[in-house]
Amino acid sequence: MQLVFATNNKNKIKEIKSLLPDSLEILSLDDINCSEDIPETSDTITGNALQKAKHVFDNYGYNCFADDTGLEIEAINGEPGIYSARYAGEQKSAEDNMDKVLTNLKDQTNRKAHFKTVIALIIDGKESLFEGVAEGEITETKSGAEGFGYDPIFKPEGYNTTFSEMSLDEKNGISHRGKAVQQLINYLM
C-alpha cells in the first residue's frame, strides 16, 4: 500500500518510517511535487491534521495521512498548543521555542505537560482519526542530542531522561506520535 505523509518535516518522516511495516510505502510531499505550504488554520490539533490530509487528497488525489502535534503545558494555560511549531515566531526555530517555554516557566513549580498527536488518514475519501498522548513534565534545562522540537526539555512520565536522551526506538515505544502511529498501523493491517 502507498500513502502520502503530508509533511515537509524530515524528522517526522524518519520517525514514522521507522515505525511502519515495509508493506507500507510512504511518499513525502516532495515525492508528489507538492511544494506549497499547506494551511493550518484550525484552532484544534485535530482540525489541523484533517486540513492537511484533505488538502493532499483533494488537490493531488493520493490516499494520505497527516499529523499535527502540540505540546500543552498546564502552568501556562495549555500553551504552546496548536502554536507549538511557531511559538517563538514564524521562523519556527526549535531553540527559540524551547527558550520561550523555559522563560515562561522560570518561576513555576508546576511543570506538568503533555504532547498530543492526532493523525488524520484519508483513504478513498474515508476519514479516520488516531490520537496519542504522552504525559510528562518540562525540565529546567535542555538535555540530549537526539530527536527534534521540544524533545530536549520534555521528560516523559516514569522516566529520568528527556525524549532527546532516548534512542529512536525507545522514544517511539512511549511517545505521543508512536502511540498514534500504532493505532494507524492496527487500522491499516
10 Å CB burial of residue 6 (0-12, 13-18, 19+) is buried
Residue 178 CB neighbour total at 10 angstroms: 21
Domain ranges for the chain, please list them: 2-188
**What is the model's pLDDT at position 22?**
85
**What is the model's pLDDT at position 24?**
87
**What is the model's pLDDT at position 104?**
96
Mean pLDDT by 10 residues, the chain (189 residues): 88 82 89 90 95 96 95 96 92 93 95 97 97 97 92 97 94 93 91
Backbone angles phi, psi at 119, to 5 degrees: -110, 130
- Which three cell numbers, joined as nine digits, stand for 101? 517555554
On whether the pTM is more than 0.85, the answer is yes
**What is the model's pLDDT at position 100?**
96
**What is the model's pLDDT at position 53?**
97
- The residue from 22, 37, 68, 107 that is catalytic is 68
Q: What's the CATH fold of domain 2-188?
A: Maf protein (3.90.950)
**What is the model's pLDDT at position 15?**
80
Told to judge if 124 belongs to the known catalytic residues of this protein, a careful annotator would answer: no
